[in-house]
Amino acid sequence: MNVYLIIFNIAILLLLIGVLAYMQKKHVSFSKRVFTALGLGIVFGFALQGVYGAGSAIVQQSTQWFDIVGTGYVKLLQMIVMPLVFISIVMAFTKLSISNHLGKIATLIIGLLLGTTAIAASIGIMASLGFQLEAMEIPSGEAEQTRGQELEQKYEQIQNLSFPQKIIELLPANPFLDFTGQRSTSTIAVVIFAAFVGIAYLGVARKQPEQAEMFKKIVDALYAIVMRIVTLVLRLTPYGILAIMSRVTATSDIDAIAKLGKFVVASYIALFVMFAIHLLILVLAGLNPITYVKKVLPVLSFAFTSRSSAATLPLNVKAQTTALGVPEGIANFAGSFGLSIGQNGCAGIYPAMLAVMIAPTVNIDPASLSFILTLILVVTISSFGVAGVGGGATFAAILVLSTMNLPVALAGLLISVEPLIDMGRTALNVSGSMTAGVVTSRITKELNLNVYNEETQKLEA
């Protein structure tokens, strides 16, 4: 009987996919299809949970089949991340679009990412203090204790890495290894390698223009092919979001989320406030924030459902270049650096909130000015060092808590709501990198305002 129920659930998913395909055939806009997929996925997922239960074998086996569409789509996006980053940055040099002020662009992007992370840490601190969140109030079960032990083990693996060593980890000792994405810092390493190739091209162009011209034609051809692959994969976005959201809502532990409702609410208020800060930065740059929101919502929706900044990179770059008017080179620098440096959600708000919650357990007053200023500084610096030890909210939390001499294992108390919070954190991370790209382009006067201000935009060809 279970087999027939699983087949029935798969048939419903395929029917919903058919609805999205029909919408595409009728030329319904990309944004509307994305949000339709998001809504259908939420409704279908909760329906599965209501009928079978979140932990039932039927739901677990059904969602494994859903992953062929959802996780499969994420893997296709990850497949094109490294080629896209490399060829786009090299092409930026061949077109001389960023080579004249590369140092300024890199400084602006990194400065914006780190600056917004410091602001995010401040917002996280205020959220924890305002909601009076304390780790001692959170129930600790077997799952939480197991998670705490895992965090302590991870801390033992990275505690001997100094900050300079984490910086060294960014460098591409073997670019071919980094093209496989095997290291946590592979994306940044590919960016650095691409910059060296671009600089080498400029030197050859001055001394051997014929060879440089041949190389430029090869780069242009490769870029055209890669962007076509990007377009083909992005057309699958609504289907991927449908499957991912169906799985997430079908398997979420609603009871556990309800028990930690105050932390969830505080977290999302902090995330929304920080997103508002992104919009304020755009206003200060003389740009319309409403236009930005309309054009990036499909990207943020995918980041929210996939919980992967890396998988969102192709969408991120495509939106910056085709919808927001950011040059390819700047878009790729901002998107790539944003994967490992200054993640506002994962490396800013989250570890700051945890530190404030855990501080009272070791008799530290989290409201003291010295603690707050130290925490903001530590969070900002650690957001840069996270890349050297694996990236993500977990390592950011470990680095911050250990530096502040706070119990690392207590971060495991939030395991039951981790997926839900991580969805919002990832969307904020992506928005931070896109904001950095747009504002940097605006400051360097390379932003195409005509494209940015257009009422319509397309993320697919």
Residues 372-422: tens digit of each pLDDT:
999 999 898 877 755 434 446 777 777 788 778 887 766 666 666 677 888
In a domain, 105, yes or no: yes
In a domain, 459, yes or no: no
Closest CA to 329 of 114, 99, 108: 99
> Do residues 41 and 242 lie in contact, with contact meaning Cβ atoms separated by under 8 Å?
yes
d(CA 300, CA 320): 12
In a domain, 460, yes or no: no
Instruction: Kindly report the CATH number assigned to the domain that includes residue 39.
Output: 1.10.3860.10
Contacts of 208 (CB under 8 A, 6+ apart): none
- Tell me the residue range of the domain where 278 lies: 2-453
Structurally, the chain folds into a number of domains equal to 1
In a domain, 458, yes or no: no
In a domain, 217, yes or no: yes
In a domain, 263, yes or no: yes
d(CA 404, CA 23): 52
In a domain, 333, yes or no: yes
Number of continuous H segments (helices) and E segments (strands) in the chain: 20, 0
Per residue of the chain (461 residues), what is the pLDDT tens digit? 588 888 999 999 999 999 999 999 998 888 788 889 989 998 999 999 888 887 788 988 999 999 999 889 888 888 888 888 888 888 878 876 566 677 788 889 999 999 999 999 999 999 999 988 887 655 555 554 555 555 555 555 555 666 676 667 777 888 888 888 777 667 778 888 988 998 899 889 888 989 999 999 999 999 889 888 888 888 888 999 899 889 888 887 776 666 677 888 999 999 999 999 999 999 999 999 999 999 999 899 888 888 788 778 888 988 999 999 998 888 888 888 887 788 898 889 988 998 998 888 888 898 999 999 999 998 988 777 554 344 467 777 777 887 788 877 666 666 666 778 888 999 999 999 999 999 999 999 999 999 999 876 555 54
